[in-house]
Amino acid sequence: MQASPSNSVTNREFIKTTPEYLTRAGVHPGRLDGTFGVLLLHGFTSALDAVSGLIPTLEAMKLPYAMPTLRGHNATPDALIGVRAQDWYDDAYKALEELCQKVDHVIVIGLSMGGLVALNLCIQKHPCSDKIAACITWAPALGFVNPLAWLAKPLSLFFKNWKGQDSFHDPECRKNNHNYKTFPTKAFCELYDYAAETNKHLGEMLKPLCIIH
């Protein structure tokens, strides 16, 4: 039960062409007044290294960045027990708020679950809304490839944990994958509901948006 993998763009290709995607999204540091930063959000069960490969590109572009650990991640699968989608949003917003104190404009980049959080940061009104210049979602978890995904809630009564799927087509990325091998089934239920709720509000998305999938 995992978000759809990125089929046409490998991690390495994405990193290499990030400046191109920023331009496609309608933003570029050279075309905006003031300073510019990037918020990087990882996916469900991901370690930070799922998105940290972008850091050399951001540093080469001299862009400040924030890369928060969303609640329950970068630890062990049990850390996800009891975590809510609101916790992921709150952790991301705190990092956004701190980044906004340093720069004038922010692009939010989210992988999988982080894509859902990124969309919500752009859709919802908050004190940092005006500073978000654009959003890039990377295989956003708005749908799921596992045909049993919709059964997650009833299955969670019988299966405490679930085995993760291999989301990488790139052999090098697969070899270095540090995502959780298993995860609490109820944590996936939270992600599933978060995806459904986000889908309801997509029509309210008014920021420039680039979708990579």
Domains of the chain: 11-212 (3.40.50.1820)
Chain segment 137-188, per-residue pLDDT in tens:
999 999 988 787 888 888 777 888 888 776 677 887 777 778 888 899 999 9
What CA–CA distances, in Å, run from 112 to 50, 70, 138, 157?
Answer: 10, 13, 6, 25
Would you state the torsion angle of the CA atoms of residues 93, 94, 97, 101, taken in this order, to the nearest 10 degrees? -160
Per DSSP, helices labelled H in 126-168 are: 152-156
Chain segment 7-56, per-residue pLDDT in tens:
333 334 444 445 555 555 555 545 556 888 999 999 999 989 889 999 99
56: nearest Cα among 33, 40, 75: 40
Distance of alpha carbon 163 from alpha carbon 212, whole angstroms: 26
Chain segment 76-123, per-residue pLDDT in tens:
999 999 999 999 999 999 999 999 999 999 999 999 999 999 999 999
Distance of alpha carbon 93 from alpha carbon 109, whole angstroms: 13
Mapping DSSP to helix (H, G, I), strand (E, B) and coil, where does residue 45 land?
Answer: coil
Looking at residue 15, its pLDDT comes to 42
